[in-house]
Amino acid sequence: MASLFDKEDIQHHISKQFDQELVDIHSRILAMGGLVEEQVAAGVKSLIDADAELAERVVADDVKINSLEVSIDEECTQILARRQPTARDLRLVMAVIKTITDLERIGDEAKRIAFHAMDLSKQFPKRNQFSDLEHLASHVSDMLSDALDAFARMDVEQALRVVQDDKVANKEYESILRQQITYMMEDPRSIHVCLDIMWSARSLERIGDRACNICEYVIYYVMGKDIRHISLEEAQREIKGG
């Protein structure tokens, strides 16, 4: 009696299932990224507008990001156990696992900003104290959006541009620290407010770092090159070297 499927048919069927599983985790991580972007934007808005109610929603919604991380991680674990992927497929699964960790931690930073927003809503800070922070928030939000776009399209060139942008974010962060230290020296009564702003800026700087991490995973997946812990110039040479 002839088999319903020959060996080649079975392998093709399994391959198609595996491809669909990879497509599924890729789309789910982008959905998680979209939620994280919303959390960052809401956290910053709650801070600038001294909106304690919005800040409370950001804190409460962090559980959604945590849940997505757990479920995507479980799906990746199942794929590793069932499919035992190799080469490029294995790099994709590993890149996804690392990316969801960074996205979850970006969500944590958004939650920290929201906590500072709740505190600042009782302090009545001066509006001009937020001008540089708003600029940093805008820059970092663009980095995160571009990093997710690079991940969606597995675009190495865009990923490298985001890594380059981190230098600007670091300079803006350092400028905010100097500015807030000046405010504290001029008026010790502002110390509490300035510290909340400085810690919020620190969270934004960390979000920029996490966005860079995601881009490093994109480069690792596409090119098989690990550019962590090397300078930007070395990374560029590695990538151009193919």
Mean pLDDT of 88-113: 95
pLDDT band at 73 (very low <50, low <70, confident <90, very high): very high
Most confident of 3-7, 19-23, 177-181: 177-181
95-104, 152-161, 162-171, 232-241: range with lowest mean pLDDT: 232-241
- Scanning the structure block, which residue is given the tokens 């934004």? 204
Q: Can you give the pLDDT at residue 13? A: 42
**Dihedral in degrees, nearest 10, Cα atoms 223, 226, 231, 232:** 30
> Does this model's pTM top 0.85?
yes
Encoded tokens for 44: 């910053």
For residue 8, pLDDT over 60 is answered with no
Q: Can you give the pLDDT at residue 4? A: 42
- What value does the mean pLDDT of the chain take? 88
Q: Can you give the pLDDT at residue 121? A: 86
pLDDT band at 86 (very low <50, low <70, confident <90, very high): confident
pLDDT band at 38 (very low <50, low <70, confident <90, very high): very high
- Close Cβ partners of 198 (under 8 Å, ≥ 6 residues apart): 176, 177, 180
Q: Can you give the pLDDT at residue 10? A: 38
Find out whether 143 and 166 touch, Cβ atoms under 8 Å: yes
Domains of the chain: 14-240 (1.20.58.220)
Exposed, middle or buried: residue 161 (CB in 10 Å: 0-12, 13-18, 19+)? middle
pLDDT band at 17 (very low <50, low <70, confident <90, very high): confident
**What kind and span of H or E run contains 138?**
helix 131-153
DSSP annotation string for 48-66: HTT-HHHHHHHHHHHHHHH
